[in-house]
Structure 1
Amino acid sequence: MSLPLATADSRRTRRALGELVRGQAAGFAVAVAALAAGAAAGVASPLVLGAVVDAVTARERDDVTALVIALVAVVIVQALTAVWSRVAVVRVGERMLARLRDRLVTHVLRLPERRVEDAGRGEVVSRVSGDVAVVGDTVSSVVPGTAAAAFSIAAAAAGLGAIDLRLTLAACVAVPIQWLALRRHLRRSMPVYRASRAAAGERSQRMLEAIEARGTLTAFGTTRMAEERVDESARLTADLSMRATRLSARFWGRLNMAEFAGLAAVLVIGFALVRSGAASIGAATAAALMFLNLFGPMGTVLAGFDDLQRAAASLARLVGVLDEPVETAADVSAGARAPVGIEISGLSHAYGERVVLDDVSLAIRPGEHVAIVGASGAGKSTLAALVCGRLDVERGSVRFTGAAAPRIVLVTQENHVFAGALADDLRMAAPDADDEALRGALAAAGADGWAARLPDGLSTAVGAGGQELTEVRRQQLALARVRLVDPDVLVLDEAASEAGSADGDVLDRAALRLAAGRTTLTIAHRLEQARAADRVVVMDAGRVVEEGTHAQLLAAGDGYARLWRAYGA
């Protein structure tokens, strides 16, 4: 059953935002200064235009010329401060976003693999890509505009008050309408935005499942069913997006009503003030222009609330990921490590009602190489997953002797080639390894021959957009990375799955070289892999039924011997 990742509540999200803000005091000070300068320049334009109107009315030509020059200067200053303020705000926002991305990537890479599987890879991908993109777009485009608009509104309110306080009061007619519209919109839209992001994660998960299991779906003839499940998720995502769009359209309609009411009030009061002689025509003109200039900033701020809600919903999902418990890194300090043994006692495990391990007890001595064999479904891979910690122990125990926090590495047939130079790919396992160590690891994996023939050697680009590698070579890279990690316990589950092909014996030899001198558990899907182990354990229906050396089990003539004869050796 899927166990979704958590979504942080509002209080936790605000606290996380505060943590990101810390250390940005200098940047914030520069941003505030730039925003204040831009807002002041924006208010100066209507005031100068009002003075021009009064000068024209009084037929004072010299004053008009000076005021026009002043107006040009104000416009230039306004343009420069607009650029300055945007850059200053974006710089602060991007630094905060960089911290968030860095923390998120580090945290996700340390999540237990079983937790990622429980939540669904599509859900994890949706959060670290889609939700980060939403927050990033908000930081780079919404926040700068909203901050500048808020300062412009405050400056305009002060400018109206400087002309006549009654004009400010007239402009405030729009505020109750705007407040009610905003409150109603926030209450209705936030659940829709949260549901929309969750639906996008579900859609990604179903798409990934369909792609990864396409072979199985084709074999069972259920491809159409999988397509319908993806379509269902896509329709839900589209429906929620349309619902959010309708809410936004209604919200903007109410804002237009507020702007009309406010402008009408300012014009009426301005007319009354001019008629009574309390204000000049230029002052009334400046007031009307200021309010007209508020339309854009006011809309930006109120729309910013809408966009910020979307970002808040995404940020809450990202903080939920950061709150997930992670695996504690083992102490890998330099120096000799004690040999590690494994004691498995009364281990049982079930998937739902299907029992796959039933009271398994097994002791693996430090440095011993043990091969687990048995028919498909005997419980071999489940045992390996429990030893590695990929599955939680439900009943019984798995204990390691000789080290408090042993380094355990699992190697399967699933491998990944990181895009970039071959050296960088290898250094994902050992960042401080020099070129000589990298070549040694490649040699241990039997890959030194073809690696030396690459066009640029260790600098050759591999992975996406680089040198194409065969499955055997990809697996050799995975084994070379294991050599660089130098684990205490090595678990091989289909690590030499390509054996049997032209180059398959290379993988077997590399796996044996890795196993030499370290505690190793091999899940042998081919009996040939078991022959080289120090001890062979035979499993059947979740139980250990035989154990001994390869020669001893053949001599006993029981289940293992029958499997060996059936294998054709």
Structure 2
Amino acid sequence: MTDRQHQPYGDEAAEGSRSPSRSDAPPTADPVGEGSPTAPAGDEPERTLLPIATAARTRAAVAELLRPHRRLAIGGFAVMVIATAVGLLTQPLLGRIVDIAADQRPPSALTTTVLLLAAVAVAQGLSTAAGLSLISRLGESVLAQLRERFIERALGLPLEQVERAGSGDLTVRVTGDVSLTADAVRNALPELARSLLAIVLTLGALAVLDWRFLLAALLALPVQIHTARWYVRRAVPLYAEQRVANGAQQQQLLDTIGGSSTVRAFRLEKEHSERVEERSWSVVGLTMRGVHLVLRFYSRLHIAEFIGLAAVLATGFLLVRAEAASLGTATAAALYFHSLFTPVNSALVLIDDAQSAIAGLARIIGVADLPLPKEPERPLAPKDSSVAVAGVSHSYRSGHPVLHDVAMALRPGERVALVGASGAGKTTLAKLIAGIHRPTTGSIELGGASLEDIGPGAIRRTVALITQETHVFAGPLADDLRLASAGATDAELRAALDRVDALSWVEALPDGMATVIGEGGHRLSGAQTQALALARLILADPPVVILDEATAEAGSTGARALEKAVSRAIDGRTALIVAHRLTQAASADRIVVMEAGRVVETGTHDALRAADGPYAALWEAWSDTRRSPNHPEPGS
């Protein structure tokens, strides 16, 4: 219950983009885009991009996807061959008209030929439509399989791996690369099939007319082959570099916009604007290199066309003069070669789309090939809901520890508040206990069993992590709640909502629990969204709950109501509360105070106030802010 993809009842930390306002890194740490392998400073995680499949693996993966659809592929190919072959009857029929005219025969002699041309047009249109339909169905079937496999692996990725790659990397693959591949399958694949068949069969038709016409046409081939090879050598690395640059740009935008409040607070607007500008101009520069490459590509193709057409016309002139071919045959040969312009250019142009699509496809397959997290061969079940942290240290980057030898324990059913200034390490510790990250050193146990021995699946069932960044899925509100418990009845949904004081406002919605919320639906306030997360929590019923500033986004009035709802939702569960408001700490069974990645105090609210230490200072400062609402609360 710790991964975003497996935690339907609550929300979790934002992947990859650790908001500077909430991260444990210093606010001035440099957020790095995925184009950089490591962060230059601070406690940001080292960037390790998600894998990209090799060319050989990409071809093998496509073959694997096509294998279950062999009959559809053969049928589509056969129909396209028939459609193309029928279309090739047009040129000889036009040549026949030329011969009739040259022989000065009466117009009635054209009747049969004209009717045949009309029949060819109809037959070619119908067979082409049928063939393209079959090929499109093949492409969509393969694309659906690939998309499902990709989404399965993407949802199964450990959040630690996503964060190390940077959320921009996965975001670009989920959006840009998938869309690019889908467009290629829907548009480029059918057109490429038509073009290649037209080229092969047209060259065969030229040979049928006279083998010398074929040789003349093939004079253009060396130039075309050289042009294609020249282009591919340059396009493949260029498009791969462009996709990485797009991911880096996306990551930088996520870092800058996601941390905009901290950027403004520390007056880092200029620095972040320069980073965005640098990565944006990098994308622009690569795009312009691609444009210039394509222009040079086309200019070379035109040279090949001129060479081939001149050779065919010269051959036809010589054969007609030698009476080795009729004027109509020479005309048909010229028309055949001229008809090659479109499929040859289309095929070569599609190389441009193909290189970009292949680069995106390799990135998709790179994720699709990732193994799912393995469960232990003999997983241990937690014997209770206790939590034990022993000697835990953690670094996002080597040599930059965020936590130092942290030790703490939570008894079953105990509520422990975790407090400290921003950057103290609270969120990192919460993520470690939730199993999102693995500690660099030390151990964490749930119910007496280590996280490694429990396994990812059991951790998700045992621990729920809820943050201020709750996501509302588009659809009926009831469906959103049932993500936590698919078989929950309406009565159980209402009971969960009532327990967090949300039933009254839900029933007041236009359609009650059937009201569509999320993207394009009814807008919920921050407090209402968090109330839904708490209702999901109740429905999922995990024994251990981690609340990471879950009420931070609500106003003061909403926060007080949410704190009451939180208290009811976690009743009977072991709870670790990363406290944004110290009223939450005051009501906890015990308080753990962190400074600079270390536990510096632990005890009850009254005992820590009496000790006059770090917690007492935080409480005094917080009390002052209650009288001065324009200032942020300490410990936030």
TM-score, normalized by length of structure 2? 0.82
Q: Report what 2:76 is aligned to.
A: 31
1:131-146 to structure 2, matched below 5 A, reads: 131-146=177-192
Does the 8 Å CA contact 2:382/2:446 hold for their aligned counterparts? Answer: no
Equivalent of residue 256 in structure 1, options 293, 302, 308 = 302
Q: Report what 1:46 is aligned to.
A: 91
Q: Report what 1:148 is aligned to.
A: 194
AA aligned to 1:223 is E
1:362-441 to structure 2, matched below 5 A, reads: 362-401=408-447, 404=454, 405-406=458-459, 407=461, 408-441=463-496
Equivalent of residue 528 in structure 1, options 565, 580, 583 = 583
Does the 8 Å CA contact 2:158/2:373 hold for their aligned counterparts? Answer: yes
Supply the distance in 2 between the matched residues of 1:217 and 1:500 (Cα, whole angstroms): 22
Equivalent of residue 491 in structure 1, options 546, 566, 573 = 546
Q: Deviations over 1:200-237 (max 9, x none)?
A: 11122222222122222223333233222222222221
AA aligned to 2:478 is A
SS in structure 1 at match of 2:510:
coil
Q: Deviations over 1:292-347 (max 9, x none)?
A: 1111011111112222111111111222233445545899xxxx985333221111
Equivalent of residue 478 in structure 1, options 533, 541, 546 = 533
SS in structure 2 at match of 1:23:
helix
Supply the distance in 1 between the matched residues of 2:499 and 2:382 (Cα, whole angstroms): 21
Q: Which moved more, 1:99-108 or 1:347-356?
A: 347-356
Q: Which moved more, 1:56-65 or 1:461-470?
A: 56-65
Q: Deviations over 1:527-569 (max 9, x none)?
A: 3323444443344444444445556666777765676576559
Q: Deviations over 1:381-406 (max 9, x none)?
A: 22212111233310111122367323
Equivalent of residue 17 in structure 1, options 59, 62, 86 = 62
1:66-215 to structure 2, matched below 5 A, reads: 66-215=112-261
Supply the distance in 1 between the matched residues of 2:236 and 2:615 (Cα, whole angstroms): 62
Q: Report what 1:347 is aligned to.
A: 392
TM-score, normalized by length of structure 1? 0.91
User: Shift of the alpha carbon at 1:359?
Assistant: 1.8
Q: Which moved more, 1:415-424 or 1:547-556?
A: 547-556
Does the 8 Å CA contact 2:384/2:446 hold for their aligned counterparts? Answer: no
Q: CA RMSD in A?
A: 2.7
AA aligned to 2:241 is A
User: Shift of the alpha carbon at 1:186?
Assistant: 0.9
User: Shift of the alpha carbon at 1:374?
Assistant: 4.0
Q: Which moved more, 1:260-269 or 1:363-372?
A: 363-372
Supply the distance in 1 between the matched residues of 2:405 and 2:281 (Cα, whole angstroms): 47
The answer to whether 1:504 aligns with 2:550 is no
Equivalent of residue 511 in structure 2, options 456, 476, 487 = 456
1:224-263 to structure 2, matched below 5 A, reads: 224-263=270-309
Does the 8 Å CA contact 1:339/1:367 hold for their aligned counterparts? Answer: no
1:320-359 to structure 2, matched below 5 A, reads: 320-324=366-370, 326-327=372-373, 339-350=384-395, 353=399, 355-359=401-405
Percent sequence identity is 44
Q: Report what 2:32 is aligned to.
A: none
Equivalent of residue 320 in structure 2, options 264, 274, 288 = 274
Q: Assess, with a 3 A threshold, how the Cα gap between structure 1 residues 183 and 366 changes in structure 2: closer, same or farther.
A: same
User: Shift of the alpha carbon at 1:355?
Assistant: 4.2
User: Shift of the alpha carbon at 1:72?
Assistant: 0.9
Q: Report what 2:634 is aligned to.
A: none
SS in structure 1 at match of 2:88:
helix
1:210-225 to structure 2, matched below 5 A, reads: 210-225=256-271
Supply the distance in 1 between the matched residues of 2:67 and 2:491 (Cα, whole angstroms): 43
Q: Deviations over 1:118-153 (max 9, x none)?
A: 222223222211112221221121111111011111
Supply the distance in 2 between the matched residues of 1:481 and 1:288 (Cα, whole angstroms): 72
Does the 8 Å CA contact 1:20/1:100 hold for their aligned counterparts? Answer: yes
Does the 8 Å CA contact 1:85/1:148 hold for their aligned counterparts? Answer: no
SS in structure 2 at match of 1:391:
coil
Supply the distance in 1 between the matched residues of 2:262 and 2:620 (Cα, whole angstroms): 31
Does the 8 Å CA contact 1:203/1:233 hold for their aligned counterparts? Answer: yes
- Report the number of matched residues: 565
The answer to whether 1:313 aligns with 2:368 is no
Query: Runs of 5+ in structure 1 lacking a partner?
Result: none
Query: Runs of 5+ in structure 2 lacking a partner?
Result: 1-38, 40-46, 627-636
Q: Assess, with a 3 A threshold, how the Cα gap between structure 1 residues 271 and 499 changes in structure 2: closer, same or farther.
A: closer
Q: Report what 2:101 is aligned to.
A: 56
Does the 8 Å CA contact 1:499/1:508 hold for their aligned counterparts? Answer: no
Q: Assess, with a 3 A threshold, how the Cα gap between structure 1 residues 216 and 525 changes in structure 2: closer, same or farther.
A: closer
Q: Which moved more, 1:138-147 or 1:518-527?
A: 518-527
SS in structure 2 at match of 1:197:
helix
Q: Assess, with a 3 A threshold, how the Cα gap between structure 1 residues 157 and 559 changes in structure 2: closer, same or farther.
A: closer
Q: Report what 2:13 is aligned to.
A: none
AA aligned to 2:467 is T
Supply the distance in 2 between the matched residues of 1:267 and 1:244 (Cα, whole angstroms): 35
